[in-house]
Chain A
Amino acid sequence: MSVTRVEVRKRKFGFLGENASLIALVLLSVFLSIVNPRFFTLDNLFNILDLVSPLGITALAMGFVLMAGSIDLSVEGVVGLSGIVASFLVKNFSNQNDFGFFSIFFCLFTGLGFGLLNGFLLYRFKIPSFMATLGVGFITTGVGILVTRGNPIVITDWSFRQIGMGKVGVVPVAFILTMGVFFLAWFLSERTVFGRYVLAIGGDEAIARDLGINVNRVKIGVFGLAGALYGFAGAILTAKLGSGDINAPIGFTFDSIGSCVLGGIAITGGMGNVPKVLIGIFTLTILRNGMILMGISPYVQQGVIGMILIATVALTIDRKKIKIMK
């Protein structure tokens, strides 16, 4: 029986299967161009590029976590808190700080710290990642509300705001930064030992451990990396909005997971790569953008995206890897 199963799987991952997400993205774009003339314009293209960050960076982080077979629900809290860290450190209305671009490092370290905490909880207390990261997400959100008393910290550092608002020619700076991060991440994933171990662990943790891979170290590394990326996303978000606000990244968790799923990253782990995250984030952004152009109510939009995600997972999930549905 198992021999036949292998043959069935062979057929399942043909050329079409491997590139399904890219094909879907192209079809979606063609469809939107036809139904709405405003979609296929340069203005709208740059609008989309602008929307791709900072969400693209958190989606990328989520991609690594999912490939390793875990999940990270601390996105919103960590991004929000990092953004607040940035807003406190650059010129603002609340204190006398003026660290300028240097504050980005503090954001990175804040994110890295909470990411490592996620990984540590996972490894030290052997609790499922969704639980550990959910807790850390609440902690960071709580801290964010405490230090700001729930109010946005408005910043006045115009040069800092350029990383969110600025443009090189017509291309948004934030988009260039995001693409830079994607390129580095792609190299990390494809060409380094760490990158391959992430996939190995997502494929089968027990086997990876038997082959002498230090699973705990790689997992802590994955969550640390994800955290640092959230930190960077937080900085860009604050620069973009002009304030550090714990509520700003609400919806990021869902959209990050959603981008990965739409791009073709298996939520069961072990399958995926960085270009797929990029395809996913563009698909989600274009889907939103298209629905806005078509004048669809934002509430309906959420419902549509939710249904598309469920359908995507239902069509693609490898049920053999899920032993018990809970």
Chain B
Amino acid sequence: MEKQPLLVMRGICKNFPGVKALDQVSIEVFPQEIVGLVGENGAGKSTLMKVLAGIYQPDSGEILFNGQQVSIASPRQARSMGIAMVFQEQAVLPNLTVYENIFLGNEKKFSNAGIVNRERMIREAEQLLQEINMGISPYAYLHELSFMERQMVEILRNIWLSRQADVQNPLIVLDEPTTVLEEKEVELLFTKLRELKKHISVIYISHRLREVVELCDRVYVMKDGKNAACFSRGEFDEDLLRTKMVGREFHGEYYLVSEQRQPAARVVLELEKCTRRGAFQDVSFQLHEGEIISICGVVGSGKEELCLALFGLLPLDSGKIYLDGRAVEISSPAQAFALGIGYIPEDRRNDGLVLNLPVYENITISILYRLSRGPFLNRGTQLSLSQQMIEKLRIKTPSALALCRNLSGGNQQKVVLSKWLLSRVKVLIMSHPTRGVDVGAKHEIYALIRELTRQGMAIILIGDSFEEDIGLANRIVTMKDGKITGILDATTSKPNPSELIRYVV
């Protein structure tokens, strides 16, 4: 007998002024199933999920949940029906305990005249935690837990909520759940999700296609607000998904390997036995002009701290840094910049851009000294230079005067890159330059990174995935527990990820 679908969304349309965000989109989710949902940014994934969660109302189309036609008016109503979203920005309170978080907003079930029966809450939380086999104490504060454990608390809350409403198989939408997780944690999350399948169905949204291939029973691909494809397990792989998402073929050229250049012989930066206690020890390597070195390692390997130290954000305990053969000391970002070292932080929204300033100010902010006459700025030059960069990098912005906060993630990253293109630094450190950026924009960022090296800039990269590190780098420095475990050549032949992983874990 054919199983009845848990959720059917059929012919969903949603228009925003000037945009057809969803055009006749249909998906089905069966009980105890993990369904992937992939697509470029702007393909309509989030809009579809917001319709499902009751944040948006569809213009047309129907939604069936447990075989019954429903209209979902609000996130609250969605939750009470057993449909819940778990976002990347977590909806848990770090200052409260696990059990308080699970039942927050629903203490009435445990209280009498406003007085809470804590013991009953704790017992019930313990039961829930046991059921999914999580070794977390209900008394633990959320700030003590890892990101993934906090996700589990959120999922538990939703399972509990739907049970209160007598829904046996809730549907949980996970939006980019692995972005900040390390490989090991991702594995753990997947194990848990597979166990949880007994109780729940999952819609899994991710840019990381490898994970989708590994985890999902079926996958829907969306493109330009429409269904682009739907595959069952075994029918799809990463390349196929990528092709369907962008609608054009992606071959090995994804990382523009043909544009990779042989670095010059001249050493720009040299590290000699650099050590920072508790972070990294005896790190030595040379970086050549026009070279890209990727630093690979898991969280705690010291790679992030190393980059921060190179930009003067963390002091070294011992070791030497040579720039152009001269020993230098880098004790502040301003000094690093003066020496010709640039840094693109992972969190560009906070550290890399002034969101409330217009695009042109952001592009020229670090070269103002070159554009000014005495204390006076030359706004004309600022604007014309910015305009050049906007055209060259194809930054999608209404004008150079638009505020950066109104740009999409990929375009913000391009603004950051253009700033460094203009600054003529010798060494550029990039931490996760494509994080949160959609596939198309990623490709353009790769092209820009290639362009930077053609200008002779040397780059130290912490990529968002092994594939990215391998694809872009001339050499790969692997780190584990603060020490270098290997320096692999990636210019002539590319190592494969499974080879790499042996060096880092």
Contact = CB atoms under 8 A, between A and B. Distances in A.
Interface residues of A, number: 26
Contacts of B95: 199, 202-203, 270-271
A6 B146 contact: yes
A315 interface: no
B111 interface: yes
Contacts of B145: 6
B180 A208 contact: no
A191 B100 CA distance: 12
Contact of A196 (B107, B185, B347): B107
A191 B118 contact: yes
Interface stretch (B19-27, B86-94, B222-230): B86-94
B214 interface: no
A194 B107 CA distance: 10
Contacts of B347: 1
Contacts of A204: 93-94
B interface, how many residues as a size bin? 20 to 34
Q: Which of B76, B91, B182 has the most CB of A within 10 A?
A: B91
A193 interface: yes
B190 interface: no
A2 interface: yes
B143 interface: yes
B115 A191 contact: yes
Interface string B225-248: 000000000000000000000000
A200 B115 contact: no
Nearest to A12: B143
Contacts of A270: 93-95
Nearest to B106: A212
A40 B229 CA distance: 80
Given A2-B180, A3-B181, A191-B118, A211 B91 contact: yes
Interface in B88-145: 91-96, 100, 104-108, 111, 114-116, 118, 141, 143-145
Nearest to A193: B107
A194 B185 CA distance: 36
A4 B105 contact: no
Interface string A74-96: 00000000000000000000000
Contacts of A203: 93-96
Interface of A: 1-4, 6, 9-10, 13, 191-194, 196, 199-200, 202-204, 207-208, 210-213, 270-271
Across the A-B interface, give the 6 residue pairs with the lowest CB-CB distance, nearest first. A211-B105, A203-B93, A270-B95, A203-B95, A212-B105, A193-B107
Given A4-B299, A192-B114, A212-B105, 13 more contacts: A3-B181, A4-B300, A4-B304, A6-B144, A9-B143, A10-B144, A13-B141, A193-B114, A193-B116, A203-B96, A207-B93, A208-B105, A210-B75
23 contacts: A1-B347, A2-B147, A2-B180, A3-B180, A4-B300, A9-B143, A13-B141, A191-B116, A192-B115, A193-B107, A193-B114, A194-B114, A196-B104, A200-B93, A202-B95, A204-B94, A207-B92, A208-B93, A212-B76, A270-B93, A270-B94, A270-B95, A271-B95
